[in-house]
Chains A and B, each alone.
Chain A
Amino acid sequence: MNKTRYSAFKVLKEALTGHKGWEPTWRDAEPKADGYDVVIVGGGGHGLATAYYLAKNHGITNVAVLEKGWIGSGNVGRNTTIIRSNYLLPGNEPFYELSMQLWENLEQDLNYNAMVSQRGIMNLIHSDAQRDAFIRRGNAMLFADAGCEFIEAKEVKERYPFLDMDNPRFPIKAALAQPRGGTVRHDAVAWGYARGASDLGVDIIQNCEVTGFNIENGKCLGVQTSKGEIKAGRVGVCVAGSSGRVMAQAGIKLPIESHVLQAFVTEGLKPVMDNVITFGAGHFYCSQSDKGGLVFGGDIDGYNTYAQRGNLPVVEDVCSGGMAIMPSIGRARLLRMWGGIMDMSMDGSPFIDSTEVDELFFNGGWCYGGFKATPASGYCYAHLLATNESHEVATAYKLDRFRRGAIIDEKGVGAQPNLH
């Protein structure tokens, strides 16, 4: 592999020599006739990260990533780019903290500018009960070395004067912040992992839809695709959003419903918000992109769907959440809105596990928290695919946890996927 290292020197050199030395970021491959040790279904952030860590951490390079469209065309390019590790439950928090640590070193590791910006995330508190709950969560974060900061109302007001502190229904009483949280340029995560994996020998095969699994005597031997049959020693499905459709081809039903989550961006504005702010009394989260647009989102639409578009009631709900904490947002015009499909699991937590079919593995159920998990998801899935054992921070993410009563329900709403 001829790996071009990106650096300021390289940019300068290319600028002076007519930009003739740039190469494609990754190698576009076609399926090999004799198959692969591992085939990963799904060329999104998680699938590409899995391929990268399989090659880098475990030395398994005879790997293909199959993508139905183009890489990064799913949820890794549709999210609101937020990263954080402010979870409460022991099944989740160490996993998301590993993810945060991987984000912190991602660009050095990949030699790729993913614009990781630890600008901080601030969750607003609107009632005394919520203050208690957030202090508990803050303590859980401190236990996991994730770090947190409790900010009293006076200081919240000083830092963010545009917030409506004395809103009669949703007064802002305080905030819990994670200074290490922030945002990442989401497309660059897919491209960076693709480049890293490709350089280590992984085949990235685009426009290659999986249409079936070759299963004999309970063992998966490969996949059927729009580019023909591909033999595989092991298959890792990693298609959150489409998990129901893909796993149905293997005859496996999941504790998952597919739902649509919408996201929004306003026209470009002057710098107003230097962090990520979330509303605690409804569902609204917002940050400002480097281009100036306010990027925000809220609840899922709430009904089963595989259509990558939503309906207007949730648009109104999300925007009214924004108006409740920062009325000035009402003056901004929406530039774009879009939808992505979420694997909503029965307890709001994901799966990284083997399945009832030998050599067929499953990664999914990320609900609407998959982007921040990308590095750790790939890291732990690669560990599972390489060693047959769950990584120590992902041991709770088993498919049979509902049967055992070992649910990981951060929100405590039970087996009602559209409420997580």
Chain B
Amino acid sequence: MIINHPLLGPRDSEEFVYLGSTDLINRPTNWEEEASAEDFYQYQYIRENIAGDHQELWYHEQGDQSWLVVTRNTLTHEITNVELAQDVSRAMGRGK
């Protein structure tokens, strides 16, 4: 698979480390509340496991060490969009 890095252009996926769904950006912020245990359980362990377009985090370990959000079809491996994770995270209203 070739990942079209927004800054570096097309790079082989072998240079990257895969983490998982972009949902992992949304770490619960209510850790001081009792009820947060359930939120952290959902965050840490439960996955949508989408068959189709999947937004996922890739780390460019053997490159510029940036985190990317890659939109990739899990049925065909076709990559349709690549963004810097910090841009996606900021758009969600979180820090980088």
Residues of chain A at the chain B interface (Cβ within 8 Å): 243-245, 248, 253-258, 302-307, 311, 313, 346, 402-403, 415-418
Report the Cα distance A417→B18, complex, angstroms.
11
- The CB with the most chain A CB atoms within 10 A, among B41, B47, B54, B77, is that of B47
Q: Is the CB of B51 within 8 A of A254?
A: no
Q: Is the CB of B75 within 8 A of A306?
A: yes
Q: Is the CB of A258 within 8 A of B74?
A: yes
Closest to B52 in A: A306
Once A305-B77, A313-B14 are accepted as A-B contacts, the answer to whether A402 and B49 lie under 8 Å apart by CB is no
Find chain B residues with CB under 8 A from A346 CB. Answer: 44-45
Find chain A residues with CB under 8 A from B47 CB. Answer: 244, 253-257, 417
Mark each residue of chain B from 65 to 92: 1 if its CB lies under 8 Å from any CB of chain A, else 0.
Answer: 0000000101111000000000000000
Q: Choose one: A303, A306, A417; the contact of B56 (CB below 8 Å).
A: A303
Closest to A405 in B: B41
Distance (whole angstroms) from the CB of B19 to the closest CB of chain A:
8
Find chain B residues with CB under 8 A from A244 CB. Answer: 47-51
Interface of A: prevailing SS: mixed
Interface of B: prevailing SS: mixed
Report the Cα distance A307→B72, complex, angstroms.
12
Residues of chain B at the chain A interface (Cβ within 8 Å): 1, 12-14, 18-21, 38, 41, 44-51, 54, 56, 72, 74-77
Q: Is the CB of A245 within 8 A of B51?
A: yes
Distance (whole angstroms) from the CB of B1 to the closest CB of chain A:
6
Once A253-B47, A304-B49, A306-B74 are accepted as A-B contacts, the answer to whether A402 and B18 lie under 8 Å apart by CB is no
Q: Is the CB of A311 within 8 A of B49?
A: no
Once A313-B14, A417-B20, A418-B18 are accepted as A-B contacts, the answer to whether A307 and B75 lie under 8 Å apart by CB is yes
Report the Cα distance A254→B48, complex, angstroms.
7
Once A303-B18, A303-B56, A418-B18 are accepted as A-B contacts, the answer to whether A402 and B51 lie under 8 Å apart by CB is no
Find chain A residues with CB under 8 A from B21 CB. Answer: 304
Q: Is the CB of B18 within 8 A of A258?
A: no
Report the Cα distance A346→B76, complex, angstroms.
24
Find chain A residues with CB under 8 A from B46 CB. Answer: 253-255
